[in-house]
Amino acid sequence: MKKWREDSGLTLSEMAKKLDISESYYSLIERGKRQEKMDLALAAKISAIFGVPLSRVYQEESALQNLLAKSDEDGKQVTKPCCESRP
């Protein structure tokens, strides 16, 4: 999602305002460090802002969660998301 935001020319602050959430919370979302599953209403807003299907938002979210879980198991730090492009 970070790549989508950057490609759209939005800052963290601008994206958070569009979603009506704090900048720090949106940052946690991009890094996969917030609640286990994303709220449907929030995912729908992200889908609409980036013009991607809701299923794609959940695919990106799931891929990031899996990558982070694997890095935790391996003891390695993840520095960038695995899915960087729009559909």
Split into its structural domains, the chain has a count of 1
For the chain, the C-alpha Rg in angstroms (whole number) is 12
Cα gap 33→65, rounded to integer Å: 8
Q: Which of 63, 62, 66, 58 is nearest to 42 (CA)?
A: 58
- The reported pLDDT for the residue numbered 66 is 78
For the domain that residue 22 is a member of, what is the CATH number? 1.10.260.40
Specify if 84 maps to a domain: no
Q: How high is the pLDDT of residue 21?
A: 92
86 is a domain residue? no
So what's the pLDDT on residue 69?
76
CA distance 12 to 2: 9
pLDDT of residue 84: 44
Tell if the pTM clears 0.85, that is, is over it.
Answer: no
Residue-by-residue pLDDT tens, the chain, 87 positions:
899 999 999 999 999 999 999 999 899 888 877 666 778 899 999 999 999 999 999 888 888 777 777 776 666 554 444 444 444
Q: Is 79 within the bounds of a domain? A: no
> Is residue 60 in some structural domain?
yes
Tokens of 65: 């969660």
Residue type, 55: S
Q: Identify the domain containing residue 46 by its residue range.
A: 2-74
